[in-house]
Amino acid sequence: MKFNPDLITIAGNWKMNGHKAAAAEIEKLINLINETDANIILFPPFTLISDFVEISKSSYLSIGGQDCHHKDSGAFTSSISASMLRDAGADYVIIGHSEARALHGNDSSNVINKTYNAHENNLVTIICVGEDLSVRSEGKHYDFISKQLENAVARTSNRNNTLIAYEPIWAIGTGDTASIEDIQDMHAHINNTLKDFDMFKKGNPSILYGGSVNPKNAAQILSINNVNGVLVGGSSLDHIEFNEIIKSK
Ligand code: PGA
């Protein structure tokens, strides 16, 4: 389904989980979701993208890749390009996830060039930003996030091809969700920062929260001002849990 920036987005990041047998999980999920009032996206590992695209082709589920290289092709052992994701049938890509930044380096020109390349290949980008605990404890988190946004949002971005995901590193996979106040304050900050970006003159992109979202806390998180959806890791692996999050919107 085409991305609609006016709808809530529920995205599942499978990280390095899932083998071919996981197709059964996707089939069960597709049978449960029959709603058109949300963008529902799964990001399986690269090896499963083509299979999942095939299985989900006439459903409400969209498929994306978890990262892409900033170049189209070349001698970049272990990398996948945006055009390869497009070729496999993906419609979305996650850019700058903190786990990918930690693995492949934090170079900001690299991140923004991934965004350009993804847009050239007609992929909708979910650009991740998030501070670690030391940045937050020094009280520098607002400036840190503003810089990350400047270094990742490309001139080709607009609200139809870009979402931002705020994922505080200390909340990812820890069960330690950010507090309602922390989420509210940072999403307001991101919203205000993006208003000054020329490419969002026609309207701001969706801002997702990510970090230990589960069926118990999803409804409350989704009701916070400026939270337009969630990026879910662990709880997206099980079709029942993920569907509960979808239903809680
Ligand atoms: P988590 O992961 O829900 O397991 O914390 C979120 C993410 O890294 O996108």
Is residue 35 predicted with pLDDT exceeding 80?
Answer: no
11 is written with which tokens?
């995205």
Q: If pLDDT is split at 50, 70 and 90, which confidence band does 104 have?
A: confident
Q: What is the pLDDT of residues 59-71, one digit of tens each?
A: 999 999 999 999 9
Q: If pLDDT is split at 50, 70 and 90, which confidence band does 108 have?
A: low
Is residue 106 predicted with pLDDT exceeding 70?
Answer: no
Please confirm, yes or no, whether 25 is among the known catalytic residues: no
Calculate how far, in angstroms, residue 75's C-alpha sits from the geometric centre of ligand 1.
Answer: 31
Calculate how far, in angstroms, residue 240's C-alpha sits from the geometric centre of ligand 1.
Answer: 17
Which residue type is seen at 196?
D
Q: What is the pLDDT of residues 124-175, one digit of tens each?
A: 999 999 999 999 999 999 999 999 999 999 999 999 999 999 999 999 999 8
Is residue 34 predicted with pLDDT exceeding 80?
Answer: no
Mean pLDDT over residues 25-54, rounded? 93
For ligand 1, atom 7, the nearest C-alpha belongs to 233
Q: If pLDDT is split at 50, 70 and 90, which confidence band does 176 have?
A: confident
List, in order, residues 6 or more apart from 106 with CB less than 8 Å away: none
What span, in angstroms and rounded, lies between the C-alpha atoms of 202 and 218? 29
Q: What is the pLDDT of residue 110?
A: 86
Q: 224-249 as b/e, with b when 16 or more CB fall inside 10 Å?
A: eebbbbbbbbbbbbebebbbbbbebb
| Residue listed under structure tokens 């692996």 | 237
List, in order, residues 6 or more apart from 17 with CB less than 8 Å away: 45, 237
Average pLDDT value over all residues in the chain: 95
For ligand 1, atom 6, the nearest C-alpha belongs to 233
Q: 173 in ligand 1 pocket by Cβ < 6 Å?
A: yes
Mean pLDDT over residues 31-39, rounded? 86
What is the percentage of the chain residues whose pLDDT exceeds 70?
A: 98
- Overall size of the chain counted in residues: 249
Calculate how far, in angstroms, residue 74's C-alpha sits from the geometric centre of ligand 1.
Answer: 31
Catalytic residue, chosen from 25, 99, 131, 167, is: 167
Q: What is the pLDDT of residues 66-86, one digit of tens each?
A: 999 999 999 999 999 999 999
| Residue listed under structure tokens 């879910």 | 232
Q: For domain 8-247, is the CATH number 3.20.20.70?
A: yes
Is residue 177 predicted with pLDDT exceeding 90?
Answer: no
| Residue listed under structure tokens 């990041």 | 13
41 conformational bin, left if phi > 0, alpha if psi -120 to 50, beta if neither: beta
| Residue listed under structure tokens 């490309």 | 154
Task: Give the phi and the psi of residue 77 in degrees, each rounded to 5.
Answer: -50, 135
Please confirm, yes or no, whether 27 is among the known catalytic residues: no
Mean pLDDT over residues 3-11, rounded? 97
What span, in angstroms and rounded, lies between the C-alpha atoms of 107 and 74? 19
Catalytic residue, chosen from 97, 119, 187, 239, is: 97
Q: 205 in ligand 1 pocket by Cβ < 6 Å?
A: no
The H-or-E segment that residue 39 falls in is: strand 38-43
Residue 24 CB coordination number (10 Å) = 11
In angstroms, what CA-CA distances link 91 with 2, 47, 65, 84? 8, 16, 8, 11
- Mutate which of 99, 166, 213 for ligand 1? The one with the most ligand atoms within 8 Å of its CB, which is 213
The more confident residue out of 109 and 25 is 25
- Mutate which of 167, 176, 208, 242 for ligand 1? The one with the most ligand atoms within 8 Å of its CB, which is 167
| Residue listed under structure tokens 């605990």 | 133
Q: What is the pLDDT of residue 50?
A: 98
Q: 210 in ligand 1 pocket by Cβ < 6 Å?
A: yes
Residue 156 CB coordination number (10 Å) = 15
Q: 128 in ligand 1 pocket by Cβ < 6 Å?
A: no
For ligand 1, atom 9, the nearest C-alpha belongs to 233
What span, in angstroms and rounded, lies between the C-alpha atoms of 122 and 24? 29
